[in-house]
Amino acid sequence: MATQKFKELIHYICWKCDDPAQLGATKLNKIPWFVDTLAYRVDGAGLTGETYIKRQFGPVPKNILSVLSELEKEGKIVTREPLVAYQPREHVAITPPDISLFSERELRLIDLVIEDVCKHHTSGSISELSHDQIWAAAALGEEIPLYATLAANAGEITEKDYAWADSIVAEVIERKDAVA
């Protein structure tokens, strides 16, 4: 079951994206993923409490379809089916979202992600961006925990890294010898 905060995030995304044609299903799946993973990297916790699942085109919020259905039933959004093949399904907010669940800082983060995804990415480019080592390691349909994203961007191990590790090992050995 989705949290209220996740539901309000989806409503807010639909409200904030200036052009509904820029917000198809792919982008609507990726914005919460990037919001939650960025919040996790900064604060140690996701923003929405949502669970993400590996799908063919990247991580997807587990409860996205039920939340969209709820928002439609409540008259908060409408979904427009494409008139032409290969155009995105459009999700349009028709009432303002309740942003009281979000802090100013959280709204700034959300707004930055929405701006970047809606204005600077195609559905293909944002999907590709979500295909990192963590996504590749998961099985189709498997949950991708937010903490796994901390290992997504492995960097090269430098001489400085080795020197630091050696100094820690030497310190541990020295403490052990002092106690013995």
- In this prediction, residue 1 carries a pLDDT of 73
Domain range annotation of the chain: 4-155
Rounded Cα–Cα distance for residues 58 and 33 (Å):
10
Point out which residues pair with 80 in neighbouring strands: 90
Q: What is the pLDDT of residues 107-124, one digit of tens each?
A: 999 999 999 999 889 888
pLDDT of residue 148: 84
Nearest Cα to Cα of residue 135 among 25, 59, 38, 80: 59
Residue 92 and residue 73 in contact, taking contact as beta carbons nearer than 8 Å: no
- Give the predicted TM-score (pTM) of the model: 0.81
Q: What is the model's pLDDT at position 169?
A: 79
| Parts of the chain with a pLDDT under 70 | 152-155, 176, 179-180
Integer Cα distance of 42 and 44 in angstroms: 6
